[in-house]
Amino acid sequence: MKLQVDERTLREVALTQDEYKVIVEALERAPNAVELGMLGVLWSEHCSYKTSKALLRRLPSTGPGVLQGPGENAGAVSIGEGWAAVFKIESHNHPSAIEPYQGAATGVGGIIRDVIAMGARPIALLDSLRFGPLPASSRHFEGVVAGIGGYGNCIGIPTVGGEVYFDECYEQNPLVNAMCVGLVRVDRLMRARAEGPGNSLLLVGADTGRDGIHGASFSSVELDESSADRRPAVQVGNPFLEKCLLEACMDLARTDAVVAIQDLGAAGLTSAVAECAGRVASAGARIDVSLVPRRQRGMTPYDVMLSESQERMLVVVQRGREPEVEAIFQAWDLTTAVIGDVTDDGHLTVFDRKELVARLPIDLLTNGAPTRRPIAAAPEPAPVLDLDSLPPLVDPAESLLRLLASPNLCSRRPIIRRYDHMVGDATVIPPGGDAALLRIKGTRLGLAMTTDCNSRYAHLDPNAGAQLAVAEAARNIVATGARPLAVTDCLNLANPDRPEVAWELEETVNGLAQACRSLELPIVSGNVSLYNDSGGDAGIHPTAVVGMVGLIDDYSKRLQAGFRNEGDFVLLVGSTLNDLGGSEYLKVEHGLTAGRPPGLDLTREKAVTRLVLAAAQAGLLRSAHDCSDGGMLIALAECCLLGELGVRCPAMRPEAPLRLDAAFFAESPSRFIISAPSRAMPELQTLARRHHVEIALLGMAGGDVIEFEGQLKVSLAEVRAAWESGLEIFH
């Protein structure tokens, strides 16, 4: 048996010599070229999670209402009245670094198909993006935003939320995470399980081309100077074809002939067939690649099995009922082809007409990759922040304007306007606030959704950073009046072969697990993206993006962030500490990233969110907005800008040891800015005492200035001019 193969061949399929030996021993022979390619893509980090799989078992994934947890195309939770919300977030980082437009566009297309495969109609898209500083990273920034907008707008799914941040660590390694949310009747929720020997495998959608070959392998190694040569590994999307595919899959509800649907994403046909079969004990599949419709001549079985051409689905159809399923797809002018059938021999067998070109055990493909546990070691501690060394805050108004104009805090309107967020006529809270909210047509239910992460916190302490991301996402959901339901996550890290990155991965997972358990939020789906690294020490900060959905029983009772009425009381819920570590204030005003991230007490976090929810449900609040990046004064300014209404407050006189700059700009968690009519104050104060939460009067809404008497006074026109200047490159 050939126990070794040359390094260049193995690098092409992202395998090591040790992994190759495991393959040879399992097969009791050397794999041929097609088999090696198939094993390479499914054993890649991108598909097998061989580094993170053991850690991910620590995450909570069950709870009331969970219909489907990790292991399927997407997670699903019950939301009442017979409906389920289906959702997932995934990364398309490496492709977007090389080809920003197509990388982002096909990332959107792929996550949409994951939701479609569950039988759900996609109703919303969100994103979480990271780039290097502007203008140096404008190619990545503009290309990615155009790709997301181009695909989502064309397919007719609103992009309703997201986040964009800029930091030096993402200059060579931009992050593009896309989230999709869909709806399905609970009794029509599908699972991608290849059940029933003899049932047919129907390939539908786009013809297969050479684009995307080795895409999964490419996403499982560091970017280097040769990465630009891997452009063929970046898929090319066609949103108009995917729209037809979406509608055809929705029409499948007319028939009970469909056993399962599986997206052809990373690793293409190899992954789709193997994963479908791998979810059923002893199931296998037999396919004939000569039956696969192709865009290009001369494609080999290797090309067909590894192609990641977009807009394709695998449908398992009851034997003998193929014509009625094919008729549905043909009505949408989509190509269909029966390429094989389900077997009960536990193997994926591939023919090219009568020639056997590959035969591999399903379990070896899907579960055979040896797990890795890289050596983990904590890096040098983050720089200590000596608060006493910081100069005192001299001009709060000037600091406010500089912060509002910074790319990480400024208005996202130049991006939002590129996205159609109203298509579908269900969006009742658009992007730009805390979380989006969509109504469930035919009901009073509203579904809230958000994505959140502060990677500067995670850089200083990955465990605390992950916890803070969960807590902020929950606050954003609560700020709409909805209660958080469940989480999907996308863990973006650098090369785990570096001990400090392996430690960051472990700490990130531990932080997510602790926060989600404490806040009773199951993680029902997710993604891990490693090797976001350009070699050496040029890796990204650990970036654990949290996508979250929540539910409000009556969307007419929703809250938004902007102040609504002259004369309403403006209040701060929660307490402020000297939490300047990792803050935007510290970075913008003092050029520092140092200290500890804000301290999070999860018991206190629950109390604060329960207070705000109780007050919202009692009809006591006019608005609510989470305090997060930039601190209280930034949140207050956003409330004024979004409501086009100013605020007048007495001077801020913090009691020692709280500093004045911290009172305005500290990013202490577990806080909201709320507004309420004067008549609601007695009941609101009673609720606050009942929940053991501090609530302090800041001032009164009204006028066209933001004023703290004797300390700052700035017109809303000045504030808006600063806020809307931060992304001038995109105007």
Rounded-to-integer distance, Cα 292 and Cα 304, Å: 8
Q: Six-digit token pair at 376?
A: 């983990």
CB 239 within 8 A of CB 102: no
Catalytic residue at 94?
Answer: no
Rounded to an integer, what distance in angstroms lies between the CA atom of residue 603 and that of residue 512?
15
Handedness of CA 367, 319, 286, 265 (dihedral sign): negative
CA distance 105 to 538: 26
Cα–Cα dist 158/129, whole Å: 17
Cα 211 to Cα 227: distance, rounded to the nearest angstrom: 16
Distances (CA, A) of 342 to 23, 257, 353, 365, 703: 24, 15, 17, 16, 69
Q: Kindly list the distances between the CA atom of residue 595 and the CA atoms of 399, 412, 492, in Å, as whole numbers in the listed order.
A: 20, 28, 22
To 10 degrees, the CA torsion angle through 617, 486, 73, 66? Answer: -90
Whether the CB-CB separation of 253 and 188 falls below 8 Å is answered with yes
Question: Cα 153 to chain center, whole Å?
Answer: 19
Alpha carbons 619 and 132: distance in angstroms, whole number: 43
Residue 270 · residue 356 · CB < 8 Å: no
**What totals of helices (H) and strands (E) does the chain contain, helices first?**
25, 26
Decide: helix, strand or coil at residue 252: helix
**Which H/E stretch holds residue 472?**
helix 462-478
Q: What does the block give as tokens for 190?
A: 């599908």
Contact 402, 588 (CB under 8 A): yes
What's the full length of the chain, in residues? 731
The beta strands (E) that lie in 92-238 are given as 121-131, 159-166, 175-185, 200-205
Q: Which residues contact 85 (CB under 8 A, 6 or more apart)?
A: 76, 77, 79, 181, 182, 183, 447, 485, 549
* Helix ranges, 307-446 (H): 322-331, 362-367, 396-404, 413-416
Where in 318-375 does DSSP place strands (E)?
335-343, 347-352, 355-361
Contact 639, 569 (CB under 8 A): no
With CA atoms as reference, report the closest residue to 161 among 174, 180, 147: 180
Q: Which two three-digit tokens encode residue 696?
A: 């302090």
Number of Cβ within a 10 Å radius of residue 689: 11
Q: Are 54 and 371 in contact (CB under 8 A)?
A: yes
Residue 539: burial class (beta carbons within 10 Å; 0-12, 13-18, 19+): buried
Annotation says 214 is catalytic = no
Integer Cα distance of 600 and 598 in angstroms? 6
| Six-digit token string for 235 | 């898929």
HSE-up (13 A, CA, CB side) for residue 677: 7
Q: Kind and range of the H or E element at 226?
A: none
User: Which residues face 545 on adjacent strands?
Assistant: 490
Residue 417: Cβ within 10 Å count? 12
CA distance 311 to 316: 17
Q: How far is Cα 723 from Cα 363, in angstroms, rounded to an integer?
A: 54
572 closest CA partner among 627, 534, 491: 627
Which residues are tagged catalytic? 46, 92
